[in-house]
Amino acid sequence: MIALAALLVVCAAPVRGQSPEETDRRERRLLARAESLLAQEEVQAAATQGAFWSRFRPRVIQSRGATLVVGEAVPAASAQQALDSGLTLLRTFGAVPERFAGRLVLYGMVDTRRDTLSRLGFGSRRLLPVDVSQTGPDSAQSWSVGAGAVAWARAAAYRDSLDVDWRHWLPYGYAVPHWTRSHTWQAFEELTRSPFSVAGRCVAGEVAGCRLWLAIDRDAEPFASRFTGADLRNRLGESSWWSNTATASEVGHTCIEGVDAACVAFFRAQGYSDISAPETSRRGLLRVFHSLYGADAVERAVADTTGSIAQRLARAAGVNGDSLVMRWRYWTLTRGGQPRDRSTAADAAPGLVLAMVLLALVVRGRRS
Amino acid sequence: MFKQVLVAQWQTSKLAVGLLTLLSFCIPLLAVLYGGDLAGAGSERVGDWLVAADRVAQLLPFIALLVGLLLGTLAWSADIAGRHVYALSLPLPRGLYVSMRFGAGALFATIPGAAMGLSSGIATLAVALPPGIHAYPVELALRFWLASLTVFAIIFAIAGASRRGQVITISVIGAAITLDVVFLLFGVDYSVTAEALLLLTSWPGPLSLLTGRWALFDV
């Protein structure tokens, strides 16, 4: 546009030797030409903008009572697949009841400028954004929704709807059963390399230590029972940020000088989590629980709102809380190892039976 | 008669038995190389030590497999080399002869197992374990012996089977591999061999003993 305007100015300047009539005619012609070009550009811009916003026109995908609204740029088949697979992922783990799916509407890459979503008539259902990922170069962009993103968004919403104990304890993404070898290593390292004494007690086989590490009981004084003064002082020494913050406050200073109560007060004031185990350890406990007792038990446990986390898990599985914790300890320290539930003789029995059968065949047979 | 078969079989198997016994004796001792006094060690060191002990343990099923494989094959090597003339010349029914060959091989398979039991005992005595960690020397030796015996019996049976039996065995394996190649060519994400191996190695599969916990020191 600027270039066009400059061209007009240059062209419109009176040229020496031209008559005034000739100049007027030329100016009018150029002006008409410029106006026509401008109109063409406006039409083109409107078309481009229309094409841009058409990608955000809502498309409603439904499956098993769940709804996903995505822009038209996301292929319908891919969105349908993401919704189906996301629901299957959640059902496989059992952490989100199916009826909960009907209470939500997930949306992503939708034009929300003119209240589009509420006009689609979802009533009182909660609207929840979901990640839409973009791939490919500018010339050939494509958009898609992942099953993991659908599952993650639903699980996060369900987690937020639970009682305070679960909300405090459950890590985000707990319901997406994506667990790799690196997670197993991470859970192992979290437990064996933790500076907290409860982790050491757990490694040494003390059930109470493991329960404190996992923070699955309702402790009256979570900080004081899960961390010792020495633990918290060690934490201060681990990073310059913590030590600077501590020296800057009076309570922190008192903590460094060796007063345990001051350490507890200092960390609590900093909003430091009162759960000793990091997220992967807690996700690991849920994973062990799921593999031992199944998706139904997970669903029952998460829907339970009575008692501590340990009591809910134990009730849902119909087992003793301590035995569950010890299974988790074994699983974590052996990096996913199966407990020695069967005796060596029971393990060997099928092989020996087969060997005997084969041997009997050889004894009866003839070489030919 | 068993003594003669034992002596004859020893001639073909002694080198393998010797090497396997040495290997079986040395491997459990490797776990001790990572440290002996863990009674008062921090959880970080205990963790590292457990990982090292676990890595050593991963070698053991392979040794058991090797014991069974070698002894099972060597049990028949003299007969195969002599085209079974010696066996046929003996005034013995085939069943008794096969049982003797099997008994001799099973006895040889006990030697590496005993060596493993001995070295596991030494390793256990040499380590001061922290609370919560246990040693399983007897269980490990028993597991090793039973695993090598199972593999030995299977290989012994295949090697000593009739030609028809061997052809059937080889054909089944060949068919599984061929199917895998066909699936691969058609882009089918399924492996017959992998599925069969999974069935064989997970309980109650006959080789499940090879895939369980083999750690001498465990949680």
Q: Is A192–B147 a contact, with Cβ atoms under 8 angstroms apart?
A: no
Kindly list the residues from chain B whose CB atom is less than 8 angstroms away from the CB atom of residue A187.
none
pLDDT higher than threshold 80 for residue A8: no
Minimum CA–CA partner of A348 in chain B: B209
Determine the length of chain B: 219
pLDDT higher than threshold 60 for residue A273: yes
Cβ–Cβ < 8 Å for A117, A105: yes
Cβ–Cβ < 8 Å for B149, B121: no
Element (H, E) at A140: none
Distance separating alpha carbons of residues B157 and B162, to the nearest angstrom: 10
Q: B164: burial class by Cβ within 10 Å (0-12, 13-18, 19+)?
A: exposed
Confidence of residue A204 (pLDDT cuts 50, 70, 90): confident
Determine the length of chain A: 368
B30-52 pLDDT, tens digit per residue, is 888 877 777 777 777 888 888 88
CA A7 to chain centre: 56
Of A93-102, A282-291, A326-335, least confident by mean pLDDT is A93-102
**Domain residue spans of chain A:** 2-54, 58-169, 181-333
Decide if the complex's ipTM is over 0.90.
no
Q: Is A347–B160 a contact, with Cβ atoms under 8 angstroms apart?
A: no
Q: Is B203–A330 a contact, with Cβ atoms under 8 angstroms apart?
A: no
Which of A205, A337, A344 is opposite residue B143, by nearest beta carbon? Answer: A344
Interface test with A, best of B84, B89, B149, B150 (most A CBs within 10 A): B150
| Chain B contact for A342 (CB, 8 A cutoff) | yes
| Chain A contact for B95 (CB, 8 A cutoff) | yes
Distance separating alpha carbons of residues B217 and B219, to the nearest angstrom: 7
| pTM for this predicted structure | 0.75
A347-360 pLDDT, tens digit per residue, is 888 888 888 888 88
Element (H, E) at A224: helix A222-226
Torsion angle (degrees, nearest 10) of CA A213, A215, A217, A219? 100
| Chain B contact for A227 (CB, 8 A cutoff) | no
Kindly list the residues from chain A whose CB atom is less than 8 angstroms away from the CB atom of residue B161.
358, 361-362, 365
B 3-42: CB under 8 A from A: 42
What lies within 8 Å, CB to CB, of A263 at 6+ separation is A227, A229, A232, A233, A236, A255
The whole-number pLDDT of residue A11 equals: 56
Cβ–Cβ < 8 Å for A333, A288: no
What lies within 8 Å, CB to CB, of A2 at 6+ separation is none
| Chain A contact for B147 (CB, 8 A cutoff) | yes
Of A96-100, A213-217, B120-124, B176-180, least confident by mean pLDDT is A96-100
Which of A206, A330, A355 is opposite residue B219, by nearest beta carbon? Answer: A330
A76-97 pLDDT, tens digit per residue, is 898 899 999 988 888 888 888 8
Distance separating alpha carbons of residues A140 and A193, to the nearest angstrom: 47
Q: Cβ atoms within 10 A of the Cβ of B151, count?
A: 27
A83-142 pLDDT, tens digit per residue, is 999 888 888 888 888 888 788 888 888 877 767 777 777 777 888 888 888 887 766 778
The HSE-up count of residue B217 (CA atoms within 13 Å, CB side) is 33
Distance separating alpha carbons of residues B124 and A168, to the nearest angstrom: 44
The whole-number pLDDT of residue A368 equals: 42
Interface test with B, best of A185, A231, A328, A333 (most B CBs within 10 A): A333
Q: Name the token pair of B18.
A: 């010797």
Minimum CA–CA partner of A203 in chain B: B43
Q: Is A359–B146 a contact, with Cβ atoms under 8 angstroms apart?
A: no
Minimum CA–CA partner of A201 in chain B: B43
| Chain A contact for B212 (CB, 8 A cutoff) | yes
Q: Is B162–A365 a contact, with Cβ atoms under 8 angstroms apart?
A: yes
Mean pLDDT of chain A: 85
Q: Is A333–B50 a contact, with Cβ atoms under 8 angstroms apart?
A: yes
Distance separating alpha carbons of residues B52 and B30, to the nearest angstrom: 9
